[in-house]
Structure 1
Amino acid sequence: MKYSVWIALLWIYMWGYPQSPLIIPTDNPSMDNLGQETSFISSRIKGNQLYLKIPETLFNAPMLLTCYDDMRRGYMQVVWVKHRDEILLMRQSIRSTSGIMIPIKEGLYLEDTLLARFPIEKEGAERDAHWINATDFFLNQEIEWPNYGVDFGSPVPSLSLLLDAKNFDDEVIIKTRRGMVRRKSKLSIPIYFGLIKLGIPMKARGYDYRMGFYYESKMGSPFNLQNGVANITRWRLEKKFKNQKWSVPKKPISFLISPKVPPQWRPYIKAGIEEWLPAFEQAGFKDAIVVKEMDSLNDWEAHSIHSNVVYWNPKKYIRGSENKDFGGTIGHLIDERSGEILRGDIFMGASARTVMENYFIRAAPLDARARKLPFPDELIGELFQVIAAHEAGHVFGLIDANFGEYQYPWEKMNDEEWLRTMRHTPSVMNYTRTSNIPQPSDSISPSLLLRHVGPTDKYQIQWAYKEFPWGTTAQEEKQVLERMIRWQDSVPWYRFNNNQMEVIGPTSSNEVVETDNPIKSTELALKNLERVVSLLPGICANQKDNSQLNRLYGKTLKLYYQHMQHLSTLIGGYAIHYKALNQPGQMYEPIPWEEQIKALDFLLKWAFDPPKWLTSPDFLRKVSYSTFPDIVLQEQQKLLVEMLAAHRFKRLEYLEEVSGNGGFLHSFLTKLQKGLFYESKTLNLGNRRRDAIQKTYIDIIKILLEQEGDFMNMESQFFIASDYSKGLLWQELMDLRTLIKKNMRQYPKAVRMGHWAKCLHTLNRIL
């Protein structure tokens, strides 16, 4: 009897008062709480070992296993299973409430797989719970996370440490330093693991490709233009007062702004997130979002499933990264059974320098505050607000795509009344950026140049989060949601199209303001771009080197290219309106041929014969000693490759078929070639860039003519010109060779005879 009591006292001592781990955490140590047990999983640290108590009531109950590393979030659904004298941790295929199974891994048709085996500890055995030693799993085992892009590297056990753990009513959090190999270096990196109890799946909303939401599984390819069986990702927002038109939610979406976010930017980040409040009001929710600025945030709060944190990405301050243009990103934890977003974090990546320079090249002629660096804090804060609003949209479930672009009237871009209500782009989720269409004489308020949550964002949130009254049948809900989607028929800026590899029209381009008249808009934007170039020497005058000047000039040239690329999408392009088969009209409406030809004329003038204010500003003489690198030429060549892409030819071929008017592709190629070689009539005009562009043109066509894809592999044919296109290209080169021969005989002493002889030599080798 005495022996049994002694054993019991020893057991209480060993388990109730655990020894300290090898490394005592310096921030918020919680060793005193490690003995606190809950009805959920309990953790205890004994020596350097982590023990978990698994109640039998949790066997086969779905849980979320999570992993946090800096900006990455790994997660998977798991269950605990008792098998003889072991506890198994299993990963399961997920039974989605949409009516389909989400596999463990794409292409693997398994119901479950084993992640780890844990012998049941004999000491401390309880009737309805079992202790296991989970140290090796969390410190040393290589875990394959299903989330796209999440790879925590190969483990290095000798560099792994167990630091701390914390128990909560519905989760346990484990703090480690995990040894791993990254970039061929052995590192010890802070990693936080979590086990979270999953409740009853929320009521889901079915995925529809005509709306701009993520679907629940991130491991596979997007559905693109088909309605895969899936749920969209969204928060569990439920009205506290069900039958009220507007009600506060039972649980709002709450954000914590990390104390590492500089205090001067916190109010702007808060304002950016709160821009979405009217969108949720349109869905029937008042005060759906709560944002708190934190002066302190301990590890457990920061890594709890119940926290959504706004982080300040430190990479911008690290040598080697200081010249990179970061933007922002988010991290999601999702219950894939229903698409419920359990946690959403925002990472504010952009530096003050990045937002200032990007704003300068677009808005300096329109905003006096932007003509001197650094900008005032107020303006920098407004630029961070735009990023916060965009990333918050991702947290609420919206994807990066094109929302209502190529729909706003171009003449409204200098209409203050319109801009205050509608903004210059219908969605903050677009990559439209700051507006550079208004002219200085329009005196547009600078605040109206920035992206904000717009009418299409409110429409998207209304569709995704609208709650239906008690008694509404599933069929009635489906009908209402479909009617909401059909609003796109009469409100064109509600239309959504997904970013794809092939940019098939002006609705799908990025980085510029897409109005219903790209040519007019681009003409106005180029006027401001010329003004920006003239401002460059002044804004960089107080610098001790040329890095800022070169950087801003490079960004200006890139923006110039993006405007030219936007116009090129008109050629072989379409306006896009995703539709069900029973909706009237076409999904793809061809751009009128007259507009395509106007766009080509514009490109021949502005892209392939660019103005001297862009190519040869006076300040270049001060800072340059060579024509290398020639960024203008690089952008011209890149644009020419895109214009001569096989998939553009195929769109023009299709346009010939559906219109019943042949000759579109031939007309395009003939006009392009004549525009690129107009000086061949005298052989004396031109310059080194035109020489390079002309030779590039011939080389691209040579590649197109020689490429032969596998006719049994349809995907490979995407990049291969059809025989029809190759015949037309061959004819164009034959015509070009004839013209050059004729003019070389007529002008035997032409200054650029060598260039034309070289072109002729290449043509002879091709033909």
Structure 2
Amino acid sequence: MRKISLLLLVVLTTSYGCALFKKKKPAAKPATAQSGSNAASNINRPPAQGPKPYKEVITAKAKTDTGLFKLHKVDERFYFEIADSLLNRDILIVSRISKSAADVRASMLGYAGDQINDNVVRFEKGPSNRIFLRSVSFSERSQDTTGMYSSVLNSNLQPIVAAFDVKAYAQDSVKKSKGSVIDVTDYLNGDNDVFFFHAEVKKMLSLGGLQPDRSYIQEIRSFPMNIEIRTVKTYTRTPSPQMGMMGGSPGGPLTYELNSSMVLLPSKPMQARHFDPRVGYFATGYVDFDSNPQGVKRVSMITRWRLEPKDEDIERYKRGELVEPKKPIIFYIDPATPKKWVPYLVQGVNDWQVAFEKAGFKNAIIAKEAPKDKDWSIDDARHSAIVYKPSDIPNASGPHIHDPRTGEILETHINWYHNVMSLLRNWYLIQTAAVDPRAQKMKFDDELMGQLIRFVSSHEVGHTLGLRHNFGSSSTVPVEKLRDKQWVEANGHTPSIMDYARFNYVAQPEDKIGEKGLFPRIGDYDKWAIEWGYRWFPEYKTTAEEASGLNKWVISQLKNKRLWFGTESDPNDPRCQSEDLGDNAMVASSYGIKNLKRILPNLIQWTREPNEGYDNARSLYSEVVNQYSRYMGHVVKNVGGVYNTPKTVEEAGSVYQNVPYGKQKEAMNFLNAQLFATPSWLINKKLISQTGIDPVNMIRSVQSGTLSRLQNTNTINRLINAEALTGKDAYTVFNLFADLKSGIWSELGKHSSIDVYRRNLQKAYVENLSKLLEAPAPQSMGGMVFRPADPTASDVSSIARAHLINLRSDIKKAIPSFSGMSKYHLQDIDARIGTILNPK
């Protein structure tokens, strides 16, 4: 569930979210002793000595593992025996954290299972009995169609990143070479950005130099299509601006256990399928010098498994009959998984079979328990698996390994962390306990928890099939349908399990809605997305030919609004949000708040466990507040919002549209009523007396967080732009400030007492406006410096200044009518505004 942070996406992904870590024409620099020892020390030097006879290098003491390469361990040295047939073959190296360093995280990065690098390499013969390791990038491509091929090739010489002396040659019975033996010990014991951390990831994790005396090769295993390298790496820690939020001692070392997978890429690449922003797939891409004769074009390809009918079934497939694929997608369940959860994980995989049937394949995706075979390994790249991690991390993730040349998914390991169950329990209790009695306790029955695990399994499997989050899916459902028992149990509360729509919090107790109407499931969008990505089209001989046909198909299918895809990366479209439901955030959130009001008074009873204190009650109280805060976030995104509906030129209608005036006005009315008017129902005195939660800070945090999104340079600029484009039909910045003032400063006209919650809100209001009067300082994150939007470069600061002047005038007039703390507060606000307007 936890996903890579926005910053990491910027650093390590393509435009559409699929990690590549490709280095464009890096300089080929020899490694130092610390970063690879003599393996790459001087590519032009003569070898220290020539190859020895095979038996003198791979002695009788050698422990040999046969697979992609023959792997030999002699004493403490590791040797690769690379068959001549595998020279110049593309090999994908994917590096992940197996065990994380203690006491340090960079935002969402640094946990076990996180990917930290990937590269494509080739081993090739060099002069003087050497094997070169060449890093290969597919970021720029050309064919012979325009005469650009030679030019592109000459401008993209792939760097040699390491050189290895051939220690011995393996020979066949007639003394012909059939393989080269190289010693990889020093290179793997050192530090390099081929097998280990990408340089930007090291920077984000504040990793310094490798400590060789505390780093070592733990294990190397060879399988038919992959080699798995397990190492322990210890680094110094470098101080950084992020150190405070990451925790830990700035001077202590950091030790990680890393796993580097070397996976042989197919000799015959799969035909790629072009990315389409109207269907949510992860993508990989390159710059094409052929597609645009007067420039270049960025080409993006979706990531997907190679799914084709068997040769004998091709005609049946063309007739529309369901057939089994040549090679089904099989997930194995980690043998370490607690037995009672295995059936639910299996079902979570098999639930996708109905989607693949839409693409013409039956039994295309299957889950099995891992075989009880001593030769079977979960690390074998021929096996995809759901891996159980006995960890306190409340998370699950679904990464996959794909061929960067075509997007073909080759293997995946879904990480299922044990403590994700606490996350699921909290979500389900907070969102449905008002309507489902099974959720009104701390320990759920196994059947309920099993179904929750099944839902998580299905969601993560979707990612491993190439699907991104569809945060817009739930916005296609009318809110009132979520209370219609018959409709919602038949159709589900969102058309996509890839949405972050969790559970149906709109349902009310009187609706009598059962589990089918509360849980997410494989929906209409998921079936369509799989059909679009996996249907086999033999009539199209090239990817470009296929793209035209697919475009017509998409235009036709998207007449069904339930098939709409809304990206997870649009900060301005209120339809695309996590954790939201329905087509109207104000109505949906009102229903959600009604249920929170039912849940809150029962928390002490529902969280009670014998011989325990009130930690559970405190935790769930915080969850109620968090859920309430999410509702406010869903609503506030409508103000200054812009709908973004990707289209091709063959489609009618606008791509970008401002949220209508009426909906923005409705959002502001909601916020004034449900948030800025103190939500006193959240202040439960009995809970506070048992949990020690600070009610003043609790309310201030939610109010100020939402208010800052309204009094924000980007929001105000969008309102200014909307007014410039649409004139009188727009919700303007003046409408915004008028609505805010009427809701937050209503005491000025009524001359009513201002309580502590409102005083804090009003202070936050003025503080936010003060930030709009000066250019913000540059900010640094993850080693990158960026400049936030500058309010002084537009009308934003002019409007804020005028509003402060008018507000101060109103406050001065009102002060004589107040007494006590209210008067002191207004006098303080008057002084603050004076300082803001006239700084010394």
TM-score (norm 1): 0.86
Which amino acid in 1 is paired with 2:432?
A
Moved more, 63-72 or 326-335: 63-72
On the 8 A contact 1:142/1:155 being kept in 2, the answer is no
Query: Which aligned pairs between 1:172-183 and structure 2 lie closer than 5 A?
Result: 173-181=227-235
Equivalent residue for 1:636?
703
Equivalent residue for 1:79?
122
Equivalent residue for 1:272?
348
Question: Is 1:527 the counterpart of 2:594 in the alignment?
Answer: yes
Shift of 1:192: 5.2
Equivalent residue for 2:300?
230
Equivalent residue for 1:45?
73
Which residue of 596, 615, 622 corresponds with 2:683?
Answer: 615
Q: Secondary structure of 1:406's match?
A: helix
On the 8 A contact 1:456/1:493 being kept in 2, the answer is yes
Structure 2 CA distance for partners of 1:166 and 1:698, relative to 1, 3 Å? closer
Q: Secondary structure of 1:344's match?
A: strand
Which residue of 398, 411, 417 corresponds with 2:467?
Answer: 398
Equivalent residue for 2:213?
158
Structure 2 CA distance for partners of 1:641 and 1:296, relative to 1, 3 Å? farther
Query: Which aligned pairs between 1:208-287 and structure 2 lie closer than 5 A?
Result: 208-216=276-284, 228-240=298-310, 241-243=313-315, 244=317, 245=320, 246-287=322-363
Question: Is 1:121 the counterpart of 2:167 in the alignment?
Answer: yes
TM-superposition CA deviations, 1:430-454 (whole Å, max 9, x none): 1111111011111101232111111
Structure 2 CA distance for partners of 1:150 and 1:763, relative to 1, 3 Å? closer
How many residues matched?
A: 715
Which amino acid in 1 is paired with 2:354?
P
Identity %: 25
- In 1, Cα distance between the equivalents of 2:327 and 2:615? 50
Equivalent residue for 1:718?
789
On the 8 A contact 1:259/1:297 being kept in 2, the answer is no
Structure 2 CA distance for partners of 1:763 and 1:247, relative to 1, 3 Å? same
- In 1, Cα distance between the equivalents of 2:229 and 2:197? 21
Query: Which aligned pairs between 1:13-162 and structure 2 lie closer than 5 A?
Result: 15=58, 17-19=60-62, 31=63, 34=65, 36=66, 41-70=69-98, 71-73=113-115, 74-84=117-127, 85-94=129-138, 110-122=156-168, 127-128=176-177, 129-144=179-194, 155-162=210-217
On the 8 A contact 2:329/2:366 being kept in 1, the answer is yes
Shift of 1:409: 1.1
On the 8 A contact 2:776/2:787 being kept in 1, the answer is no
Question: Is 1:382 the counterpart of 2:458 in the alignment?
Answer: no
Query: Which aligned pairs between 1:490-639 and structure 2 lie closer than 5 A?
Result: 490-500=559-569, 503-513=571-581, 515-542=582-609, 544-624=612-692, 627=695, 630-639=697-706
Which residue of 411, 414, 423 corresponds with 2:492?
Answer: 423
Which amino acid in 2 is paired with 1:526?
I
Shift of 1:554: 0.5
Q: Secondary structure of 1:507's match?
A: coil
Q: Could you say what the CA RMSD is over the residues aligned between the two structures, in angstroms?
A: 3.1
Structure 2 CA distance for partners of 1:632 and 1:95, relative to 1, 3 Å? closer
Structure 2 CA distance for partners of 1:280 and 1:111, relative to 1, 3 Å? farther
TM-superposition CA deviations, 1:49-86 (whole Å, max 9, x none): 12222233332222223445421444321111111121
Q: Secondary structure of 2:257's match?
A: strand
- In 1, Cα distance between the equivalents of 2:702 and 2:424? 23
Structure 2 CA distance for partners of 1:608 and 1:488, relative to 1, 3 Å? farther
Equivalent residue for 1:448?
517
Which residue of 463, 481, 499 corresponds with 2:550?
Answer: 481
Moved more, 461-470 or 618-627: 618-627
Moved more, 617-626 or 404-413: 617-626
Which amino acid in 1 is paired with 2:453?
F
Structure 2 CA distance for partners of 1:561 and 1:63, relative to 1, 3 Å? same
Structure 2 CA distance for partners of 1:163 and 1:589, relative to 1, 3 Å? closer
Shift of 1:115: 2.5
Equivalent residue for 1:4?
none
Moved more, 653-662 or 336-345: 653-662
In structure 1, runs of 5+ residues without a counterpart are: 1-9, 20-30, 101-107, 220-225
Shift of 1:44: 1.6
Equivalent residue for 1:727?
798
- In 1, Cα distance between the equivalents of 2:219 and 2:641? 58
On the 8 A contact 1:45/1:165 being kept in 2, the answer is no
Structure 2 CA distance for partners of 1:98 and 1:743, relative to 1, 3 Å? farther
Shift of 1:698: 0.7
Structure 2 CA distance for partners of 1:190 and 1:506, relative to 1, 3 Å? closer
Equivalent residue for 1:334?
402
Which amino acid in 1 is paired with 2:715?
R
Structure 2 CA distance for partners of 1:147 and 1:467, relative to 1, 3 Å? farther
Shift of 1:522: 1.6
On the 8 A contact 1:403/1:494 being kept in 2, the answer is no
TM-score (norm 2): 0.79
Equivalent residue for 1:23?
none
Q: Secondary structure of 2:676's match?
A: coil
Shift of 1:456: 0.7
Which amino acid in 2 is paired with 1:727?
S
Shift of 1:293: 1.6
TM-superposition CA deviations, 1:726-756 (whole Å, max 9, x none): 22222222221121111223x2646511011
Equivalent residue for 1:686?
754
TM-superposition CA deviations, 1:608-645 (whole Å, max 9, x none): 123322123432133338556x2221111111101111
Structure 2 CA distance for partners of 1:120 and 1:574, relative to 1, 3 Å? same
Structure 2 CA distance for partners of 1:56 and 1:696, relative to 1, 3 Å? same
- In 2, Cα distance between the equivalents of 1:18 and 1:416? 71
